[in-house]
Structure 1
């Protein structure tokens, strides 16, 4: 399905913005609805409610709720108080440096820390493997360790560069 198909009621500018963010989040392996929601919230001149999101994007309440929850966890959106309104309305985080920095801190760093533990455990398990496979396992685990070490060095460098 075309990225523009689900956004018929949007203006051309809104539809193009939504489509761009859909492509971006799909590259990151995130659900399409995350890009749709963020794109609409990002380009909207006013805070956007859940009702706006479901009706304008043509997505289910469940998809909208889950997408908003994920976007809040990523610190990509925040709740805006609208006097006299009981519904939550959402505003985007528009500082992309902050978004990338949050993504690195909240998503990448924990995986890198767990990765070190996993590699150590794999090494321990490989020592109990049959001798004829020992060299194979050692080579593969060494490659993983090198990749992990590179990720561990590059991630802080990227975060530092972004926050310069």
Structure 2
């Protein structure tokens, strides 16, 4: 192999390593057996959520994972693999892939790293069942607003009771 080829592959591996470092979650899937229409639909769903899916050679993925310090994926870099790079919302990629795999049995999630930690397939399934980041924030906001809302209702009830008592006198 020429030095130019080696340098080019190292450059690609460095770019992939940078994407791995920036990703909130990385999932490796086997897409063999999916039709072109299914892959297109999957890519569209991921793109709409701001998630990137790439097909990259396994040797480059191994080199990039080592460079990025990502552990737990080496065994999954065998055979046809696609890598899904998630952003801030670490739940979204797992949710989309698990939901898609229910209808397209050929899609198989091989491995994942979420927030820098290797994740088992059971954990990925559990994460996929969690509400989205927006849903969790909405629940938190509702819980935080409840005491204020209850206090306001109590003050309003006391004020109305005093008004009624004042009108009756």
The structure richer in strand per residue is 2
Higher-RCO chain (CA-CA 8 Å, sequence separation at least 6): 2
**In proportion to residue count, which structure has more helix?**
1
- Bigger Rg, structure 1 or 2: 2
Does the pair score TM above 0.5?
A: no
TM-score (norm 1): 0.32
Using structure 2 for the length normalisation, give the TM-score.
0.31
